[in-house]
Chain A
């Protein structure tokens, strides 16, 4: 069965430090890939997406992600974290051969930023 794994439930970084959030998926072909951020009391906001082409994708708020087919990964990165980045981050995969294009979400990574 298709699945998405975000191995880190919680991550704490200092403001100004770099960040990498991991996402691995289980799927035979290359899916569509997304990262969303959820701030407290709000819905999910799209950070970036990958459909095809260049494997390094730029998103909003200074985030980027790299698709690595050999590792079935789509890790999210930011060079310098700001206090306002504290939130929960979700990776999502959309299998492209199922016909339903159903989203499969990871369980999320909660980011805490220390001043």
Chain B
């Protein structure tokens, strides 16, 4: 089954404690993205990747890092999380530019 898998689904942590949210897709897609979803703001892109070792900033990259060492994986790293990064995060992948995106089920992060 084609899918995008995120882990963990839920995480409560404290300010400053480094965390990583993993994302893996089994569709051999080249394009992957991370979004955050906040009430009243819709989805905003954090980072995206066009291929292995090729990443670029989205609209709200501050406080986040990503890496793309393998085509299937695109982890999101919060080196020093802060409360304003409390949000619902989605990973997505797509086959080509302009094509529909496939979304993971989301990761709800709470930073205390």
Contacts and interface: CB of A to CB of B under 8 A. Distances in A.
Interface of A: 9, 32, 34, 36, 41-46, 49, 51, 90, 94, 96, 100-103, 105-108
Interface in B33-56: 33, 40-45, 48
A101 B100 contact: no
Given A32-B98, A49-B100, A43 B45 contact: no
Interface of A, secondary structure class, is loop
B39 to A, nearest CB: 9
Interface in B87-106: 90, 92, 97-98, 100-101, 103-106
Contacts, number: 46
Contacts of B41: 107
B101 to A, nearest CB: 7
A42 B103 CA distance: 9
28 contacts: A32-B98, A36-B103, A41-B105, A41-B106, A42-B105, A42-B106, A43-B4, A43-B103, A43-B104, A43-B106, A44-B90, A44-B101, A46-B101, A49-B100, A51-B98, A90-B42, A94-B98, A100-B97, A101-B97, A102-B45, A102-B48, A103-B33, A103-B45, A103-B101, A106-B42, A107-B40, A107-B41, A108-B42
A32 B100 CA distance: 10
